[in-house]
Structure 1
């Protein structure tokens, strides 16, 4: 590790004169404030959920920035970054995430990333897997044409209201957990990319192996509401929407298993500072391929195109317009349901469609289908910078607007039936590289608060 992080320069690098990073030079204002050496950032993580219970943990990063005399210092967000997140919940849900990122390894054109995740999450949501998810909320136990709900709170109230059980269910049941499922995942991902020419273009290859297991909540005691007295009680949960779709062969993958994935990408990147750019562009064509020929129990092919742009405006000390457009499609008639829930990107996977990474103001995975497009735009305005001891903090506001839609076929992607959300966020930059994000998003269905480390994009 010490050898890796000391970054001795090679003779070949001197001939190259670091031409492959010249386009990535930080702004002079950011460069002056960049911290030298090794430092740690970390925050406690507390949360509470009706299913997972109370949770606590830590989110932490260790950065190696090197000395200011290092030729790479003005061009990289860090020489190496180690992320460690851990959390535990009273329901026995837990998560451990570790990630190592080394850009321009030993001053070369290579960048290496290693990611590991072990997690169990019983709060995943499932509303369906076709463009019918664009329709208003409807109880899973209600046939098409039944009552719909304008807001998620109305829908949630209706789900918890006791109803008579159907065949195979208890006499009276609740549907509080009818669209939830638990995922248990172990994942290891190895990636490497190589800078071409002047460094603006990169090619990437990677390999990921996962072991996945799923559980639905039929018969589990859950929240309920008495339809007459309106008092809160408990009752066995009824059927599972996810399991019903699986048994009716509308989806695949509920049995989980071993998933082996080859990843490839072509990347164009001129951002001046990856964690929080002031200018530049990012474009990628990313693909994930899974097949029995590489040891996978399930088969699919996912294609994702993404573009981002950042423009510094001539007012305020640091005012930036940030925008993103993403388009994705899943190939393979029997692609597993869980692959519809995210779009893979070398710059960080994106939950789709809904949640803090795509449509803030809608629940995660609210709209799912084989094809999608979405866009985001933010105005990032920094209003305060200060130092506390040896730590530097910067505070900013970020009003935002999100939009997107899904389709069953990529040929049908258009500008009809678009879902919108909007809101505002607070950004705290801790020693520049760690961005704490607090976002409040609104949509026709919901109002949601999000907290995380890193920008939404």
Structure 2
């Protein structure tokens, strides 16, 4: 949903903003100038000011967008920061982002991402929710199916998703909790006359729950400069939850952040998914998209299992501007014994960062794969 690009509005305004940027002030408000253009420019200049007296510090931004999956369109986003205990200066801020977008191809969607840290960081609640209607392409299951670049079926995918993770602090950066995932997907307007692979069944409901463990020493969740993040989780999707067939999912993520020199962060990410045999087609692991293997069409390569690694260099440039460069690789496969190095998918690219709020970045990325490329626009770092 936030996998979109090219905010001409953001770029044009921010270029001017850097030339006129004054240091952020916590206590002295700056009066907005007259005129629509000047007011918009003034607003963008001060979105990252620290507003200590506000219970909810929010900002709004929007503009034209483009993605390889949805084509040209328009998007709007509200990003906010808040604290559940403003007297505790050591408690990291909580954050929430609400976004909406629509495109010329008929795509439209709404979404919400939030992380709430309760007083003394004893409990954490993370919520991701979205609804979308998206013209899509289905290549089938497995590497060989996706490797046939033109062998896809066009259809429209209607999806509602919800993931809620609640965890309790165990001490020394460790958390344990329960994760709930609900996903309802339906394929419509299927081009069944093309003789290409078809998705079956057309309607899939999935609901699962299970435990997870986290070790987290990141200094700031939306944009870490140092620390480590490790998450291992298991979800079971039983038939009595409404699933057509029972299946399970294992998920692992391991991220590290190191400061190389002034303003430079090296971020590394290892991610893996493993599903049991009965996982339906639209809940399989999918390579590509805005977070991993950027440049590949999301869902072109899908299978029961997926592993991906990436390394990203993040460099502050000047004012509120920054840049990134990354390289990554990944595989989709039916079983671990079937992994082939020759089937690895390589991704690399560059990106631009603009500090929308204090240490919360708007990102604009250009990624390339073996035979595909794409632009992506979103909020917060990809990992």
Query: TM class by shorter-chain length?
Result: 0.7 to 0.9
Q: CA deviation at 1:409?
A: 0.8
Q: Tell me, in whole angstroms, the C-alpha distance in 1 between the residues paired with 2:366 and 2:103.
A: 24
- The Cα of 1:242 is off from its aligned counterpart by 4.0
- Alignment partner, residue 239 of structure 1: 194
> Post-superposition shift, 1:240?
5.9
Deviations along 1:234-280, whole A, 9 cap, x unmatched?
xxxx426342xx4xxxxx44232x32211421111111111111111
- 1:384 corresponds to which residue? 318
In 1, are the aligned partners of 2:143 and 2:343 still within 8 Å (CA)?
no
Find the counterpart in structure 2 of residue 206 from structure 1: 179
Change (3 A) 1:325 1:54: closer
Q: Match of 1:74?
A: 90
Deviation at 1:291, TM superposition (A): 1.4
Q: Is the 8 A contact 2:76 2:99 kept in 1?
A: yes
Q: Deviations over 1:148-195 (max 9, x none)?
A: xxxxxxxxxxxxxxxxxxxxxxxxxxxxxx433212123344331111
Matches within 5 A, 1:42-441: 42-47=60-65, 55-65=73-83, 70-71=87-88, 73-76=89-92, 78=93, 80-89=94-103, 92-103=106-117, 105-107=118-120, 109-122=122-135, 124-133=136-145, 135=147, 137-140=148-151, 178-198=152-172, 200-218=173-191, 238-239=193-194, 241-243=196-198, 246=199, 252-256=200-204, 258-313=205-260, 315-316=261-262, 318-331=263-276, 333-341=277-285, 352-385=286-319, 394-413=320-339, 415-441=341-367
- Of structures 1 and 2, the one with the larger relative CO (CA 8 A, separation 6+) is 2
Q: Give 1:130 deviation, angstroms.
A: 1.3
Where 2:343 maps in the other structure, the secondary structure is coil
SS at match of 1:241: coil
In 2, Cα distance between equivalents of 1:75 and 1:411: 45
Distance in 1 separating the partners of 2:372 and 2:120:
48
Unaligned runs of 5+ in 2: 1-48
User: 2:68–2:297: 8 Å Cα contact kept in structure 1?
Assistant: no
Cα gap change, 1:449 to 1:293, in 2 (>3 Å): same
Task: Using structure 1 for the length normalisation, give the TM-score.
Answer: 0.66
CA distance in 1, matches of 2:191, 2:217: 50
Q: Which TM-score applies when normalising by structure 2?
A: 0.78
Report SS of the residue matched to 2:296: coil
Say yes or no: does 1:442 pair with 2:368.
yes
Structure 1 residues 255 and 194, CA, compared in 2 at 3 Å: closer, same or farther? same
* Higher normalized strand content (fraction of residues): 2
For residues 91 and 419 of structure 1, the distance between their equivalents in structure 2, rounded to whole angstroms, comes to 27
C-alpha distance in 1 between matches for 2:252 and 2:370: 28
| Counterpart contact for 1:127–1:179, Cα < 8 Å | yes
Q: CA deviation at 1:372?
A: 2.0
Hey, what's the Cα distance between the residues in 2 that align with 1:213 and 1:425? 33
Distance in 1 (alpha carbons) for counterparts of 2:68 and 2:372: 18
Q: Secondary structure at the match of 1:411?
A: helix
Asked which structure has the greater CA Rg, the reply is: 1
Q: Is the 8 A contact 1:87 1:95 kept in 2?
A: yes
Map 1:18-37 onto structure 2 (within 5 A). 36=52, 37=54
Residues 70-114 of structure 1: per-residue CA shift (max 9 Å, x gap): 22x3341x1x333221223455532121344311x2335111234
> What is the distance in 2 between the residues matched to 1:202 and 1:82?
21
Contact 1:259 1:298 in 2 (8 A): no
**What RMSD in Å do the two structures reach over aligned CA positions?**
2.7
Structure 2 residue 12 is the aligned partner of structure 1 residue 39 = no
Q: Distance in 2 between matches of 1:82 and 1:254?
A: 33
